Every structure is written in structure tokens, then in C-alpha cells.
Amino acid sequence: MRVQDSDTQDTTTQAIDSAQSAAAQDDKIRTVTLEEPITRPSGQKIEVITIRKPMGGALRRVTLSDLLSLNTDALQTVLPRVTEPVLVKPDFDLIDPVDLVKLGTELVSFFVPKKERS
């Protein structure tokens, strides 16, 4: 019986570690499903974009107030630095405004302190 108890404990510990890792990952990664997929001239279709938490280097040459106000030039500067697949300038000509707002909103959500998130 002790082997089963040990296995159960190991499984529980792994589940807790996995949940903690997922929560930490959630603080650093956001996923956005586009309402209108982007179809690149090459035929590649982008339906889901993952955004990583921007660190200082990704924010260079952009004012935070421009990002917080969802300034399109600021978004077009920072989003290519933190997205997967990487968004390129021509993608922004094809993106639906609703999706640009969704991406911008998720990006600036990284700037809200953990205490203030609901």
C-alpha cells in the first residue's frame, strides 16, 4: 500500500506543480483568437496569435501612454516583437480593427498589477 500512497502523492505534487506553472505562464502569455483571420499573400492563414509579456527591450522607442491608448503606430511597433506567429507590417494592413483592438487590449493587460486584476 505504501507504494500506491507514494504514487498518489507524486501525482498530486505533479498536478500542483503543473497548475502553478500554468498560472505563472498565464501571467506571461496571452492567446488571441482572431474574429477575421489574416491571410498573407503567401496563402498562410493566421487565426490565433500568442502574445508574450513585453519586457523592457520590446518597449524601446515607444511611449507607454501611446500603448495604453492603443495608438496603432505603437501597437505596430511592439506587437511584432512579442507575437507568435510574428506579425509583420503588411499584416497590419490586413487586420480587422476589432482584432487589432483585441491584440492591443491583451498587450496592455500585461501592464496591470496583479493586485488589480480581477
CB within 8 Å of 24: residues ≥ 6 apart? none
Over the stretch 4-38, which tens digit does the pLDDT of each residue have? 455 545 555 554 444 444 444 568 999 999 999 99
Over the stretch 62-80, which tens digit does the pLDDT of each residue have? 999 999 999 999 999 999 9
Place of cell 505603437: 74
User: CB neighbours (10 Å) of residue 3?
Assistant: 7
Which helix (H) or strand (E) covers residue 32, if one does? strand 29-39
Residue 37: per-residue pLDDT = 97
CA nearest 77: which of 31, 87, 68? 87
Q: What is the DSSP letter of 63?
A: -
Model pTM? 0.77
Q: How confident is the model at residue 117 (pLDDT cuts 50, 70, 90)?
A: confident
* Domains, the chain, ordered by start: 29-116 (3.30.2220)
Place of cell 502553478: 20
Say how far apart CA 27 and CA 1 lie, in whole Å.
39
CB 75 within 8 A of CB 104: yes
Parallel, antiparallel or unpaired: strands 83-84 and 29-39: unpaired
